[in-house]
């Protein structure tokens, strides 16, 4: 995982550049709860998932949800980006993540991570239609190395009710 720091000292923003192994849209099934859903799955390898777990836990604690962006919908493969963000992270969160990926996070006022992919246009259209019909969907974060049904359950789940139909300005 790479850390990109924007700014020096107080007020700096930090971007945890974790490479999602895959990102897909559609309907899914949660084996343990036996429930289906419309959603987005972002899957990371274990080396990325460990430091990101602290970020996801902080989002859960603050009842924050990922931001979802779709753009270039007229292209064969529109762009999809899921943005995970914690503003004003406390010292404990910074220390937890920094202990795993380095001291560059100390002093950051915002931590950002993303999952991004090009999605086939017809799949995207179907997903957006079902998302609108359902009034929302789920962003699930999974371990790309999971092999058994127990391991396939998401590591983190977030309920989202909005998809922005524009290119994001991540660091605006």
- Which of 145 and 168 is assigned the larger pLDDT? 168
Q: Tell me, what's the pLDDT at 103?
A: 62
- Residues 43-88: tens digit of each pLDDT: 998 888 888 898 999 999 999 999 999 999 999 999 999 999 999 8
| Confidence check: pLDDT of 32 > 90 | no
| Confidence check: pLDDT of 151 > 70 | no
In the chain, domain spans = 2-160
Q: Tell me, what's the pLDDT at 91?
A: 77
The mean per-residue pLDDT over the stretch 128-140 comes to: 91
Distance of alpha carbon 137 from alpha carbon 150, whole angstroms: 22
Nearest partner of 127 among 18, 16, 25, judged by Cα: 25
Q: What integer best gives the mean pLDDT of the chain? A: 84
Q: Name the pLDDT band for 169 (thresholds 50, 70, 90).
A: confident
Can you tell me which residue has the tokens 């992919």?
117
> Which of 31-35, 65-69, 95-99, 151-155 comes out lowest in average pLDDT?
151-155
Residue pair 16/55 in contact by the 8 Å Cβ criterion: yes
- Residues 5-30: tens digit of each pLDDT: 888 777 788 888 888 888 989 887 66
The mean per-residue pLDDT over the stretch 120-135 comes to: 92
Distance of alpha carbon 108 from alpha carbon 64, whole angstroms: 18
Q: What is the 3-state secondary structure (H, E, C) of the chain?
A: CEEEEECCCCCEEEEEECCCCEEEEEEEEECCCCEEEEEEEEEECHHHHHHHHHHHHHHHHCCCCCEEEEECCCCCCCEEEEEEEEECCCHHHHHHHHHHHCHHHCCEEEEEEEEEEECCHHHHHHHHHHHHHHCCEEEEEEECCCCCHHHHCCCEEEEECCCECCCCCCCC
């Amino acid at each position: 995982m790479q850390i990109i720091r924007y700014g020096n000292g107080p007020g700096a923003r930090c971007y945890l550049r974790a490479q999602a192994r895959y990102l897909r849209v559609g309907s899914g099934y949660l084996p343990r709860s036996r429930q289906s859903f419309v959603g987005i799955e972002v899957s990371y390898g274990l080396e990325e998932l460990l430091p990101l777990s602290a970020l996801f836990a902080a989002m859960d604690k603050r009842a924050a949800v990922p931001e979802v962006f779709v753009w270039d919908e007229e292209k064969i493969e529109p762009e999809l980006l899921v943005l995970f963000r914690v503003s004003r992270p406390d010292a404990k969160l910074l220390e937890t993540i920094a202990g795993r990926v380095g001291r560059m996070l100390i002093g950051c006022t915002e931590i950002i991570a993303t999952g991004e992919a090009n999605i086939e246009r017809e799949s995207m259209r179907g997903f957006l239609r079902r998302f609108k019909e359902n009034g929302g969907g789920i962003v699930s974060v999974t371990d790309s190395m999971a092999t058994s049904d127990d391991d396939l359950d998401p590591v983190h789940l977030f309920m989202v009710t909005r998809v922005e139909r524009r290119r994001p300005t991540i660091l605006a």
